[in-house]
Chain A
Amino acid sequence: MRSILASLVQLATTVLVIAAVILVILVPLSLAQPDPGAVLFAFLLGPFDSVRHIGNIAEAATPIALTGLASTVIFRAGMFNLGTEGGFFLGGLGAAAFAIMVGVQGPLAAPLAILAGACIGSVACVVPGYLRVRHGAPEMVTSLVFNFALLFAGLLFLSYVLRDPTAGALTSPKIPADARLDRLLQGTRLNSGAIIAVLACILGGVWLFATRSGLNTRIVGSSPGFAAHLGLPITRITMATQVVGGLIAGMAGAVEVLGLYTRFTWVSLPGLGWTGIIVAILARENPFLIIPAALFLGYLQVGGDILGRSMDIPSEIVGILTAAIMVAVTAKIIFENPRLLRAIRSIKQQEAK
């Protein structure tokens, strides 16, 4: 009971910090507008004013919950692999290519396409992970740069193999209807990918906190020296998490493309892998907390879109908000403040008595 209370203290601090960031950025901006109250109202409450907007929140949260889970799995093993962005792009392309070129029909079409996307997308995380484990090349730099290499490799494939010559722009042919995911809510693009995302996060949480291999991964990530002392196969565990993280990132891209699009149209990195990193940080690398964290970022996105449509404020404001939240939530000065840590410890000690 007390330990729940202790984590509540941290949660409350996070919420407080985020609220402060939102107000600090939004209030000056709204004061410059003729009706400041309406701006705040539209941004903060707009996303909840209709079922459709709530559906939009879930729709926006689906891909970033999955990329957030991918980043979480990767970070938990102590690697700072940024390949989720490339994995997301490649996963989407792989799933579209599989659905179009292989032409599986019937109920298996979508799952097989997602599987193919996941496998292809995982390359983005596996290669930097392998280079780190085998050769010691810093995974952060190689994965960052590798994302862009994969983007152009993907574009090469898209223009020379997958391109629909009859379409004006650079896009793939139509993805067969069998491979597309079902819509869950009228008027939104919310699809069955959302169910996959929720299940994956729960499964990820159970794996991380309730299984032996999850425990081993956490040990390897948080104290490699202790893991070596225990005789854990560090290389194998690290590599396995890079593979699993890459598979999830690829799956995220596959779900996004099969759920929302009729053709594959990305010609630049979609950026949802970066957002996944934010989600992972916001959720403190806890798979269970990814769902609320992703929903929160989806809520910001929908609020920004409403602002962009109804007021004269571009929805780009969300980018600044997210960036500021990202920095504030990793700020040691707040979350590793001696006073906060002491407060949490004293709550936990009371439980021990």
Chain B
Amino acid sequence: MDAFFATIADPALFATVLRVMTPLLLAGLGVLISDRAGVLNIGMEGMMLVGALTGVLVSAYTGNAWLGFLAALILCGFVGWIMALVVNGLGAHLIITGIALNMAAAAGTTLVLFFATGDKGMSGALKSEVLPSVRIPFIADIPVLGPLVSGHHILTYLALLSVPLVSILLLRTPFGLRLRAVGMDPKSAASAGIRVKRVQAAALVLSGVFGGAAGAYLSMGYVSWFASNMTAGRGFIAIAVEVMGIGSAWGALAASLILAVAETAAITMQSLGLPHELMQMIPYVVPIVVLTVYVSRRRARQLV
């Protein structure tokens, strides 16, 4: 038990939680934007993989981490646009398209990795760059607060900053209003003169950009290489984050924080000899309970 408390008191623990949280939050915000527009992005897992590989490849060839990051954002935004084109232009099934995207991305990234490095497993042969961590001047020197607030990865700050931005975008801008209207009732939105397909395409592009950021964080922040299927289900946890957050950006922040704490605890408990599979189930069981309670409560209220 002493070991347990020693781990909790460790100041590095907070940093670990933030590190685990960042990709979940970024991807969760991406799923949130798509879901509010009525085009739930099941393909988030695939988009993250594409972003992770793009970041590594472009940064390795240009020698610039930021170019890699930018390329990941652009390419994943493009993937989102393709998805919108396939769903709205070709009229393909939304969920099937998402599953297909995951499948194509898992296979495609392995294929591209093979053609780029001759290895199907890992990009160890490539010398890729990583995005830096940020030391905030002045604040970093404050005794207790400094180590807590400063010194995290730049994408962690970006993810935290995105929460109020996405919240404002969805709730306080004309675009957000149109987006929510489309998600709630596309036919009414169309009759009010909103171009439904265009708004949904924009939502999927934005969703893709967030997915690209989440993926780039995995391969250029979490670690410094790309491995096939390295997202390991985080894209699906992102869907869970969105569900647990009940459709708001701040909710997504809370949900990803809870899941990050759970995952960090799982790592800790493993060293104490407790089954970590039990903790690994949490991110998947909790959203089901939250969703069920939320929906059945809302239904009960409607019946009264």
Which A residues, 127 to 160, have Cβ-Cβ distances below 8 Å to chain B? 131, 134-138, 140-142, 144-146, 148-149, 152-153, 155-156, 159-160
Contact B277 A145 (CB under 8 A): no
Complex-state Cα separation, A317 to B283, whole angstroms: 32
Q: Contact at A319–B284, with CB atoms within 8 Å?
A: no
B296 touches A136 (CB 8 A): yes
Complex interface bits, B263-304 against A, C-beta within 8 A gives 1, otherwise 0: 000000000000101101101110110011001100100000
Complex CA gap A151/B293 in Å reads: 23
Query: Nearest A residue to B103 by beta-carbon distance?
Result: A323
List, in ascending order, chain B residues with CB within 8 A of A149's CB: 281, 284-285, 288
Asked if residues A135 and B295 are in contact (CB atoms below 8 Å), the reply is: yes
Interface residue from A160, A316, A323, A336 paired with B111 (Cβ < 8 Å): A316
**Do residues A327 and B90 form an inter-chain contact, with CB atoms below 8 A?**
yes
> A36 contacts the other chain (Cβ, under 8 Å)?
no
Q: Which residues of A contact B92 (CB under 8 A)?
A: 327-328, 330-332
B107 within 8 A of A: yes
Give Cα A327–Cα B99 distance, bound, in whole angstroms.
Answer: 9
Q: Are A137 and B291 in contact (CB under 8 A)?
A: yes
Assess whether A352 is interfacial by the CB under 8 Å rule: no
Whether A327 pairs with B97 at a CB distance below 8 angstroms is: yes
Segment at the interface with A among B9-17, B192-200, B232-240: B232-240
Q: Interface 1/0s, chain A 160-171, versus B by CB < 8 A?
A: 100000000000
Please name all residues of chain B whose beta carbon is closer than 8 Å to the beta carbon of A137 when the two chains form the complex: 288, 291-292, 295-296
Q: Does A199 contact B (CB under 8 A)?
A: no
Q: Quick check: is A318 within 8 A (CB to CB) of the other chain?
A: yes
- Report yes or no: B106 in contact with A319, Cβ–Cβ below 8 A: yes
CA A155 to CA B108, docked complex, whole Å: 28
Interface code A282-316, partner B: CB below 8 Å = 1, 0 otherwise? Answer: 00000000000000000000000000000000101
Nearest CB in chain A: distance from B39 CB, A: 13
The CA of A160 and the CA of B90, in the complex, are separated in Å by: 48
**A314/B120 contact (C-beta < 8 A), A131-B288, A142-B292, A323-B104 known:** yes
Given A144, A152, A159, A336, which contacts B239 in the complex, CB threshold below 8 Å? A144
CB contacts (< 8 Å) of B97 on chain A: these are: 327, 330
B285 to chain A, nearest CB (A): 5
Q: Does B114 contact A (CB under 8 A)?
A: yes
Contact: A314 with B110, CB < 8 Å?
A: yes
**Chain B residues closer than 8 Å to A155, beta-carbon distance:** 277
Provide the residues of chain B in CB contact with A336, threshold 8 Å.
Answer: 91
Which chain A residues numbered 234 to 273 have a C-beta less than 8 Å away from chain B?
A: none
Partner among B91, B114, B291 whose Cβ is within 8 Å of the Cβ of A138: B291
State whether the Cβ of B100 lies closer than 8 Å to any Cβ in chain A.
yes
Q: Which single member of B96, B99, B277, B291 contacts A152 (CB below 8 Å)?
A: B277
Distance of A148 Cα from B104 Cα, bound (Å): 20
Q: Which of the residues B107, B281, B287 comes within 8 Å of A153, measured between beta carbons?
A: B281
Q: How many residues of A contact B (CB 8 A)?
A: 44
Asked whether A136 and B295 contact (CB < 8 A) given A141-B243, A144-B236, the answer is yes
Chain A neighbourhood of B89, CB < 8 A: 333
Contact B239 A320 (CB under 8 A): no
Chain A residues near B239 (CB-CB < 8 A): 141, 144-145
Contact A316 B277 (CB under 8 A): no
Minimum CB distance partner of B86 in chain A: A327
Distance in angstroms between the alpha carbons of A131 and B236 in the assembled complex: 19
Contact indicator A140/B95 (Cβ below 8 Å)? yes
A188 at the interface (CB under 8 A from B): no
Please name all residues of chain A whose beta carbon is closer than 8 Å to the beta carbon of B291 when the two chains form the complex: 137-138, 141-142
Whole-angstrom distance between the alpha carbons of A328 and B90 in the complex?
Answer: 8
Tell me if A48 is interfacial: C-beta within 8 Å of chain B. Answer: no
Kindly state the separation between the CA atoms of A111 and B276 in the bound complex, as whole angstroms: 34
Residue interface mask A62-85, B partner, CB < 8 A = 1:
000000000000000000101000
Once the chains bind, are A152 and B280 in contact (CB under 8 Å)?
yes
Instruction: Point out the residues of chain B lying under 8 angstroms from A144, CB to CB.
Output: 42, 236, 239
Instruction: Write out the residue numbers on chain B whose beta carbons fall within 8 Å of the beta carbon of A317.
Output: 107, 111
CB pair A274 B299 closer than 8 Å: no
Query: Which residues of B208-257 have CB atoms within 8 Å of chain A's CB atoms?
Result: 233, 236-237, 239-240, 243
| B299, closest chain A residue (CB) | A136
A118 vs B280: C-alpha distance in the bound complex, in angstroms? 25
Instruction: Check B159 for interface membership: any CB of A closer than 8 A.
Output: no
Is A277 in contact with chain B by the CB < 8 A criterion?
Answer: yes
Chain A positions within 8 Å of B114 at CB level: 314, 316
Q: Does B101 contact A (CB under 8 A)?
A: yes
Kindly state the separation between the CA atoms of A330 and B91 in the bound complex, as whole angstroms: 8
Q: What 0/1 readout, one digit per residue, does chain B (82-122) give for beta carbons within 8 Å of chain A? A: 00001001111101110111011011101100100000100
Complex contact A145–B90 (CB within 8 A): no
| Cβ–Cβ < 8 Å partners of A93 in chain B | none
User: What is the CA–CA distance of A152 and B103 in the complex, to the nearest angstrom?
Assistant: 21
- Tell me how far the C-beta of B224 lies from the nearest C-beta in chain A, rounded to whole angstroms: 24
What residues of chain B lie closer than 8 Å to A80, measured between beta carbons? 95
Q: Write out the residue numbers on chain A whose beta carbons fall within 8 Å of the beta carbon of B296.
A: 134-137
Please tell me if A326 contacts chain B, counting CB pairs below 8 Å: yes
With contacts A145-B243, A322-B103 taken as known, whether A316 is within 8 angstroms of B110 at the C-beta atoms is yes
Task: Name the A residues within 8 Å of B278 (CB-CB).
Answer: 152, 156
Chain B residues numbered 28-51 whose CB sits less than 8 Å from any CB in chain A? 40, 42
- In the assembled complex, 8 residue pairs joining A and B whose CB atoms fall closer than 8 Å, in A order, are A80-B95, A135-B299, A145-B239, A145-B284, A281-B93, A317-B107, A320-B104, A330-B96
A residues within 8 Å of B by Cβ? 80, 82, 131, 134-138, 140-142, 144-146, 148-149, 152-153, 155-156, 159-160, 274, 277-278, 281, 314, 316-320, 322-324, 326-328, 330-334, 336
Nearest 3 Cβ contacts at the A-B interface: A319-B107, A332-B91, A323-B104
